[in-house]
């Protein structure tokens, strides 16, 4: 099957977003099948590590790597099971269009380069850092049971950088240029693509060494 690079798509799957375990998933698949040659479901399993790896024991915070491995495995398998059930009524040809991959499948030198450069930008460009923290503030509310808000905020900030690094890597390097999500994209990523930080040298073209091609669309099909 010949794949048109301009007709590959992907959906980043947040395992904390319950919409991926509803009828939205089935509707999303049906909506995209006739539009794209490939539909990649990229499970953001490793992002859970930023907010789930630390446990509180008395007056200290402890890294619990066994716990997070179990969480990542269970949540990932739950989604894969739900997705496979959503594919049962598809034809063999339609099923060939569907791909399921995890975060680690794209953690190569391309991803590391983008991630590293965004970390450098985070620590050196005030405007970018403030925007990342603004998103992190909203994100951390989901895990606000911790007394150590500052540490959780910092973890969430790196979470955001990891997330936007992977979005750039998958769309621009592997040519899944059509990205979909149930809600709007991360505001920092949108600002990078609109060249809001161009005066500081932070652009997608500079991060990947070529002209960007990614296209994003909100897939709020259940609201229509």
Residue 182 has pLDDT above 90, yes or no: yes
Q: What is the mean pLDDT of residues 217-223?
A: 79
> In which band, very low, low, confident or very high, does the pLDDT at 145 lie, cut at 50, 70 and 90?
low
Q: What is the pLDDT of residue 220?
A: 84
Q: What is the pLDDT of residue 224?
A: 45
pTM of the prediction? 0.91
> In which band, very low, low, confident or very high, does the pLDDT at 192 lie, cut at 50, 70 and 90?
very high
Rounded-to-integer distance, Cα 172 and Cα 51, Å: 27
Rounded-to-integer distance, Cα 167 and Cα 189, Å: 9
Domain count, the chain: 1
The two tokens of residue 119 are 């970390």
Q: What is the pLDDT of residue 54?
A: 81
Q: What is the pLDDT of residue 4?
A: 57
Q: What is the pLDDT of residue 102?
A: 97
Considering only residues 213 and 141, tell me which one the structure prediction assigns the higher pLDDT.
213
DSSP secondary structure code for residue 14 in this structure: -
**Rounded to an integer, what is the distance from CA 88 to the centroid of its chain?**
26
Question: Which CATH number goes with the domain that contains 209?
Answer: 3.40.50.11710
Q: What is the pLDDT of residue 61?
A: 81
Three-state SS at 151: helix
Q: What is the mean pLDDT of residues 120-143?
A: 91
Q: What is the pLDDT of residues 24-38, one digit of tens each?
A: 999 999 999 999 999
- For CA atoms 141, 13, 123, 151, give the dihedral sign: positive
Q: What is the mean pLDDT of residues 142-164?
A: 81
Q: What is the pLDDT of residues 52-90, one digit of tens each?
A: 888 777 778 888 888 899 999 999 999 999 999 999 999
Question: Other CB atoms closer than 10 Å to residue 115's CB: what's the count?
Answer: 20
Question: Other CB atoms closer than 10 Å to residue 193's CB: what's the count?
Answer: 18
Residue 1 has pLDDT above 50, yes or no: no
Q: Are 24 and 221 in contact (CB under 8 A)?
A: yes
Q: What is the pLDDT of residue 42?
A: 98
Rounded-to-integer distance, Cα 125 and Cα 197, Å: 9
Looking at 53-169, list the stretches that DSSP marks H as alpha helix, in order from N- to C-terminal side: 65-86, 92-95, 109-124, 126-140, 149-168
The percentage of residues in the chain with a pLDDT greater than 70, rounded to a whole number, is 93
Q: Are 118 and 161 in contact (CB under 8 A)?
A: yes
> In which band, very low, low, confident or very high, does the pLDDT at 147 lie, cut at 50, 70 and 90?
low
Q: What is the mean pLDDT of residues 113-127?
A: 98
> In which band, very low, low, confident or very high, does the pLDDT at 167 lie, cut at 50, 70 and 90?
very high
Structural domain boundaries, residue 136: 5-223
Looking at 1-91, list the stretches that DSSP marks H as alpha helix, in order from N- to C-terminal side: 23-33, 48-52, 65-86
Q: CA nearest 41: which of 18, 19, 22, 25?
A: 25
Considering only residues 140 and 127, tell me which one the structure prediction assigns the higher pLDDT.
127
The two tokens of residue 171 are 């769309």
């Amino acid at each position: 099957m010949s794949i048109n690079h301009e007709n590959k798509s992907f959906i980043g799957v947040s395992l904390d977003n319950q919409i991926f375990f509803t009828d939205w998933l089935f509707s999303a698949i049906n909506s995209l099948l006739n539009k794209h040659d490939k539909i990649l479901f990229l499970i953001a399993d490793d992002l859970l590590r930023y907010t789930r790896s630390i446990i509180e024991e008395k007056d200290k915070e402890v890294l619990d790597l066994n716990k997070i491995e179990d969480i990542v495995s269970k949540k990932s398998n739950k989604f894969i099971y739900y997705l496979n059930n959503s594919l049962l009524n598809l034809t063999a040809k339609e099923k060939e269009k569907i791909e399921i991959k995890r975060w680690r499948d794209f953690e190569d030198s391309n991803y590391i380069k983008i991630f590293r450069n965004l970390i450098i930008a985070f620590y050196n460009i005030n405007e970018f850092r403030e925007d990342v923290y603004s998103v992190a503030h909203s994100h951390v509310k989901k895990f606000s049971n911790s007394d150590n808000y500052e540490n959780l905020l910092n973890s969430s900030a790196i979470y955001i950088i990891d997330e936007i690094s992977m979005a750039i890597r998958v769309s621009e390097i592997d040519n899944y240029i059509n990205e979909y999500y149930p809600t709007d994209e991360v505001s920092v990523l949108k600002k990078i693509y609109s060249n809001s930080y161009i005066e500081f040298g932070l652009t997608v073209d500079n991060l990947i060494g070529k002209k960007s091609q990614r296209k994003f669309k909100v897939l709020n099909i259940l609201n229509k």
